[in-house]
Each structure stands twice: as C-alpha cells, then as structure tokens.
Amino acid sequence: MSETPRPLARPLVLGGLRLASNLVLAPLAGYTDLAFRLCCRAHGGVGLAVTEVIPAAALVRAPERTHRFLHTSERDRPLSVQIDGGDPALLAEAARRVEAAGHAALDINMGCPVPRLTRKGGGARWTTTPAQAARAVEAVVEAVSIPVTCKIRLGWDDDSITAPALARALERAGASALTVHGRTREQGFRGRVRLERIAEVVAAVERMPVIGNGDVRCAADAERMLRATGCAGVAIGRAALSDPWIFRDSWHYLRTGSLPPAPSFAERLAWVRRHFAHLCELFGERRAVLRFRKAGCHYARSMGLDKAYRRRMNVARDRAEIERILADVEAGRHWARQRGERSPTRPAPH
Ligand SMILES: Cc1cc2nc3c(=O)[nH]c(=O)nc-3n(C[C@H](O)[C@H](O)[C@H](O)COP(=O)(O)O)c2cc1C
C-alpha cells in the first residue's frame, strides 16, 4: 500500500454540506443519542455525527416511538440521521420526514449484520444486491435535497466481497459519501479491519468521498486509516464510547503530528456526570439508567476504573445509585491501579 501525499486533515464535503473536519462519530445503536453526541462535540474535532439506526418503517408509521432518537439541539450540528429498511418507497418517505425535520444529512444503513435487519432486506443484505441497492438510493436521492450517504461493510462474507462494485453503483445513484466498515457481515467484529479492502473501494469510485471505518482507537489509528486507504474521512465508533476526546485528539494530531494535553480525571468525570444527567432529561430516569448502565461502563477504560465499578454500573437500579457510584469514583474508590488490576491507559500514537 502506498502512502498518499494529500494532506490528511481536510474538511469533508458531502454534496453541498461542508464539514469542519473529516472525522465522523459513527452510528452506535444504544449510544449515539443527543447526550452522547454533545459529549463528543464539546471538545471539537467532530465533523459530523450520526444518530443510531432508526427503522424507516417506525419513523413513518410510529413516529412517537422514534422521536427520542431524533432529539437534537443547536450545538448538535451538523447531524446525519441513519435509517434502515428493505423497501425503497419506505426509505424515501422516511428520508422526506428527516429532511422536513431540518436534519442536515441522511445515512442509509447497508452494512448492519444483525439478522433482525437483514431478514427484512435491510442492513448488510443490501451488499448482496448492488443493483437493487443503487435503485433504492436513487429513490431516496430523488425524494430529498439533503445529502444522502450510505454505510456498508465489505460484503456478505469472504466469498462475496461486493464493496467496490456496490460503491460504484451507489455513486452513480447519487450517494454523496460512503462509509465502509472494513469487515464482512460474516466477520461480525472478529478479526482485524482490512484496510487494503477499503483502499479498493476508494480506487473504485470516481469522486464520491469514502469514509474509512473500523478499529480506530487513537489518533495514530485515524492517520493510518487515511494513509493506508486514501479515504477522505474516518468514522470512529467504539473508541469514542470510552474517550469522547478522540475526535479532538485525532483532528489535532492530523494537523500537527502531536497530541493536545489529555483531559484531567476530574474533567472526564464531570463529563460522565453531564452525560448521565442529560440522558435523564432526554429519556426519563428509567430508560436513562438502562442506557447508562452500558454507556457508563465504557468510561472505565479511559479513566482506569476497576472491575467493581463495572459490576456496580451494570446493575444500577436508579439515578441515585448511579450518582453514588460516580461519587465513589470521585472519592478514588474505583481506581484499578489501587487494586492491582491492569489500568487501562490512553493509547499512545505509534
Ligand atoms: C454497540 C454498537 C452499535 C452499533 N450500531 C450501529 C448502527 O446503529 N448503525 C450502523 O450503521 N452501525 C452500527 N454499528 C457499527 C459501527 O458504526 C461501526 O461501523 C463499527 O463499530 C466499527 O467501527 P469502530 O471500530 O470504530 O467501532 C454499531 C456497532 C456497535 C459496537
């Protein structure tokens, strides 16, 4: 793989939408709600954030079930809404509603491996039928004037790597950008992301920006993704859950080759508390506690918290209990190092 001489920190342009960076908060079901998006955006570096996947059918037929996931605010711009479904007409109707609600962009999930989606013709099922996928995207592009992007995997399995052909077809259908998670559906999250396969997608398209995705855990990984694949931008998912500063760090690193000072423990904890408080406002206590059981555990990695912290967080019953756990964190009762556990540290650039 050859090194690309282009500057790595260049703002991404999706159709008529110019982003402030080429870093994207990837959609993560159960996590990338407004509360978490603001935790990432507050520190800078996020060019675009994407909602968790919303079924097109629910968005059209039962909007009361989806409105929480569409909550946004002035500080949450630009926002792309991700929809899923196997029916082009429903996708187009959902897209119209997303545009009517004032969102900046629309993303179609064509990569999710979950059978609940693929059985209905959505998610990664689209990777098996590039021509049909292109027709669906054409229908959506015709229905709205906001940029329409797609997110795919490499293909269904190793015997059907369709991403390059699919990318070409989606570009011709009018997609403004394509995010490629460098694994197949069959791989799930196993193995490593295949950068050389993402590079093949970049080579296959004419002008459509390709956003590389998968296993970017630190700023140096973001640089490697850009250099090794020639992609225009990078989407970061899981790593942001423990370290919402990864966008700020990566954007700084891509521009300067160095990392800004790491946030202090107190700063991280303040943002964890803000995240949870905002979730309570958005979802109400019961749902917020359920969501934060998972989200709260992810912070253990960047903050060096022990297993007992995760055990408690995982089963927390109410807001008061989560606040008690966080008070114990503040008092230093959950530091992994004190218990002789391996202390997760901030990954260094390599
Ligand atoms: C918990 C979880 C939820 C996810 N939800 C979505 C989703 O709603 N839509 C989607 O396109 N991808 C979803 N993904 C895939 C991620 O967007 C991303 O492609 C994948 O995690 C690889 O990137 P990463 O290594 O940076 O996490 C999800 C992944 C995880 C782990």
Q: Return the domain boundaries, the chain.
A: 13-256, 265-339
- Cα within 13 Å of Cα(33), Cβ side: 21
Catalytic residue from among 39, 40, 112, 231:
112
Q: Ligand 1 site: residues with CB under 6 angstroms?
A: 26-30, 52-53, 82, 109, 111-112, 151, 181, 213-216, 236-239
| 107 CA closest ligand 1 atom index | 11
As a whole number of Å, the end-to-end CA separation of the chain is 18
Walk along the chain (350 residues) and give the pLDDT tens digit of each residue: 444 445 899 999 999 999 999 999 999 999 999 999 999 999 999 999 999 999 999 999 999 999 889 999 999 999 999 999 999 999 999 999 999 999 999 999 999 999 999 999 999 999 999 999 999 999 999 999 999 999 999 999 999 999 999 999 999 999 999 999 999 999 999 999 999 999 999 999 999 999 999 999 999 999 999 999 999 999 999 999 999 999 999 999 999 999 999 999 999 999 999 999 999 999 999 999 999 999 999 999 999 999 999 999 999 999 999 999 999 999 999 998 766 665 444 443 33
Kindly state the DSSP code that residue 104 receives in the 8-state scheme.
S
Residue (of 190, 237, 248, 189) closest to 213 by Cα position: 237
Kindly state the DSSP code that residue 119 receives in the 8-state scheme.
T
Which residue CA neighbors atom 3 of ligand 1 most closely? 28
Cβ proximity of 85 and 91 under 8 Å: yes
**280 flagged as catalytic:** no
ipTM: 1.00
Distance from Cα 181 to the centre of ligand 1, integer Å: 9
Q: Which CATH architecture has domain 13-256?
A: Alpha-Beta Barrel (3.20)
Beta bridge partners of 17: 14
**Amino acid of residue 167:** A
Distance from Cα 339 to the centre of ligand 1, integer Å: 32
Distance from Cα 124 to the centre of ligand 1, integer Å: 12
d(CA 268, CA 291): 19
Distance from Cα 59 to the centre of ligand 1, integer Å: 20
| 181 CA closest ligand 1 atom index | 19
